[in-house]
């Protein structure tokens, strides 16, 4: 028999939020990031991990992309997942740069019934009682994310933005053609 899975997103009406940093030593924020996440989300080291770490040292500026996941169990059936992605660059010369940090949170509620009777008992229990807990867990997830973003704003001078602002200097087709025309003229 399959699982019943209900997923509640924490940051409604938006799906995710971005915080943005621009200034000196933009990579310093990411150095002890795992410890920060463990402290801010109150999880152990096994519940917080770095999923991807990508660096491009070939050019100036150095480009980077990082992903972290934080997992926190609220109950036997409910687990909070917070996914963070950083995208930005650092100048080789003066170590300044910028990055956008995307934050997404959700609470997953999973129940694996063993037979049809437990499935319908769970549905009744969910309708009558567990919905209030689901709302509370979603609010707790939102509070954890808001506390983290407020901490980052206060300690690092970051700001909340509506879209990612860190630009990786990749030329699109039209920009590439314009750049070629400029080179031909000069």
Distance CA 127, CA 133 (A): 11
With a pLDDT cut of 70, the percent of the chain lying above it is: 86
How do the domains of the chain map onto residue ranges? 4-185
Structure tokens at 168: 């990786």
**Position 186 pLDDT exceeds 80:** no
Give pLDDT tens digits for 80-91. 999 999 888 888
**Position 10 pLDDT exceeds 90:** yes
Give pLDDT tens digits for 116-140. 888 888 888 888 888 899 999 999 9
DSSP 36-96: HHHHHHT--GGGEEEEEEEEE-SSSSEEEEEEEEEEEE-SSSEEEEEEEEEEEEE-TTT-E
Give pLDDT tens digits for 26-83. 777 777 788 888 899 989 888 998 888 888 888 888 888 889 999 999 998 899 999 9
Could you tell me the sign of the dihedral formed by the alpha carbons of 160, 163, 169, 175, in that order?
negative
Residue 177's pLDDT is what? 61
The average confidence (pLDDT) of the chain is 83
Cβ atoms < 10 Å from Cβ of 138: 22
């Amino acid at each position: 028999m399959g699982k019943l899975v209900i997923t509640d997103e924490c940051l409604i009406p938006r799906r995710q939020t971005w915080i943005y940093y621009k200034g000196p030593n933009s990579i310093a924020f990411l150095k002890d990031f795992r410890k920060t996440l463990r402290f801010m989300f109150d999880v152990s080291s096994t519940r917080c991990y770095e999923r991807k770490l990508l660096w491009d040292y070939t050019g100036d500026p150095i480009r980077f992309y990082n992903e972290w996941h934080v997992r926190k169990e609220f109950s036997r059936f409910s687990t909070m997942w917070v996914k963070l992605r950083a995208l930005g660059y650092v100048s080789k010369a003066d170590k300044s740069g910028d990055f956008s940090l995307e934050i997404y949170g959700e609470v997953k509620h999973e129940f694996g019934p063993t037979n049809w009777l437990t499935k319908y008992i769970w549905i009744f229990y969910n309708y009558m009682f567990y919905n209030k807990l689901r709302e509370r867990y979603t609010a707790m997830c939102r509070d954890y994310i808001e506390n983290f973003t407020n901490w980052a704003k206060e300690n690092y001078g970051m700001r909340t933005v509506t879209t990612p602002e860190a630009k990786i200097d990749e030329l699109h087709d039209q920009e590439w053609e314009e750049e070629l025309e400029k080179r031909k003229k000069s």
